[in-house]
């Protein structure tokens, strides 16, 4: 697959641009429970956007203390670079407002990452 992607990148019409591989999924675990997840949504735009999109799709996370989502699709929806969304999510672990109960942010699913034109 990577060879095909390289050929598409090198094609004279430049159909795509390969970016470094990235972890595409994120799991947030709030040890403080659902209340902490709601507080997190008030402080973090990526978490707020994810929960708002889920609510529009009819999925309620009101009693959840953990969520899992695709970081790449979220960053595309927000119009942010994926690295900025990941940085904002990682910083949640170190935010003094949330350190008491603890927040765990895990990234997984190493994926190809590219821009298509």
Mean pLDDT (whole number) for 76-88: 95
SS (H, E, C) the chain: CHHHHHHHHHCCCCCEEEEEEEEEEEEEEECCCHHHHHHHHHHCHHHHHHHHHHHHCCCCCCCCCEEEEEHHHHHHHHCCCHHHHHHHHHHHHHCCCCCCCCEEEEEEEEEEEEEEC
At 97, is the pLDDT very low, low, confident or very high (cuts 50, 70, 90)?
Answer: confident
Read off the pLDDT of each residue in 64-77 and give the average, rounded to a whole number.
96
> What rounded mean pLDDT belongs to the chain?
92
pLDDT, mean of residues 91-109? 86
């Amino acid at each position: 697959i990577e060879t095909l992607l390289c050929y598409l990148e090198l094609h004279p019409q430049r159909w795509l641009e390969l970016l470094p591989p990235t972890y595409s999924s994120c799991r947030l675990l709030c040890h403080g429970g659902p209340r902490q997840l709601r507080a997190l949504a008030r402080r973090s735009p990526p978490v707020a956007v994810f929960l708002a999109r889920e609510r529009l799709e009819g999925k309620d996370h009101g009693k959840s203390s953990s969520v899992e989502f695709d970081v790449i699709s979220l960053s595309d929806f927000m119009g942010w670079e994926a690295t900025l969304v990941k940085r904002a999510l990682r910083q949640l672990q170190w935010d003094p407002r949330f350190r008491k109960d603890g927040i765990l942010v895990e990234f997984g699913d190493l994926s190809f990452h590219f821009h298509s034109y």
